[in-house]
Amino acid sequence: MTSNNSARRPPASAILKHHIFWSKEKNLNFLVDISNRTKTPSVRSENCIKSLERRIKLFCGPFPTWFSHLCPVVSKYLTTKFGIKQKDSTIMDLIRLFRNMHNHISEQDVPQDVKNAIGLSPSAFFDYWITRFPFLVSATWIVFQPLKKLQDYGLAHYYPDRYNFEFTSIKK
C-alpha cells in the first residue's frame, strides 16, 4: 500500500476493504467465519490452510508452538479441560480454539480466572489474542483471498472485488 511505484499500489477502493480498517468485532467475526467455513476442508480451502501453515514462524517466533504464547492460566485450562497440548499446534487449531473460546467464554463452567485473562467483551477478547498473535488476522486474510468469490464460503464481504493483496510486507 505504500510503494513508491504508483502502479504497485492498490486502488483506494481496495484499501478501504483492508482488514486494518476493520473494527475489532469485524476482525473477530472474520476469524470465526474462517473457522466455521473450513470445518470440513475442500480442496480449495485445504490449499489456503497449507499456505497458512507454511507461515507458522510468523505466529510462533522463536517458540516451538503457538501454545507457548498463551498465559499460564489459559494454557492450564486448555490442557486440563480439553487435553490440548503443545503438539496440537497448527494455525487452524489456533483459529478453531479462538472460535470455540469466543463462543463459550461466558459459560458457567469456564473458570473466572480464565474469563479475566481472556476478557468477556469482544474488544478485550480480541485484544488478548491479537497481542499474542499479531499476524493472525493479516496472514489468514491474505491466504484465504482465493475463496472470496466462491459463494459457498460467504467471504466476499471481507475482500475487495477486483484486487488481491500479497505477502509483500510479511515475511513467509
Give pTM, 2 decimals.
Answer: 0.88
In total, the chain counts a number of residues equal to 172
Q: CATH number of 10-158: 1.20.1440.180, 3.30.70.270, 1.20.140.10, 2.10.109.10?
A: 1.20.1440.180
User: Does residue 124 surpass a pLDDT of 80?
Assistant: yes
CA–CA dist 57, 62 (Å, integer): 8
HSE, side-chain direction, 13 A CA sphere, residue 11: 8
CB 95 within 8 A of CB 143: no
Check residue 87 and give its pLDDT. Answer: 65
Which amino acid would we find at residue 89?
S
Question: Dihedral, CA atoms, 113, 114, 115, 118, nearest 10 degrees?
Answer: 120
Residue 170's alpha-carbon distances to 19, 135, 140, in angstroms, are: 15, 9, 12
Question: pLDDT tens, 144-160?
Answer: 999 998 988 899 999 99
User: Does residue 169 surpass a pLDDT of 60?
Assistant: no
User: Does residue 172 surpass a pLDDT of 50?
Assistant: no
Check residue 119 and give its pLDDT. Answer: 92
Q: How many CB atoms lie within 10 A of CB 63?
A: 13
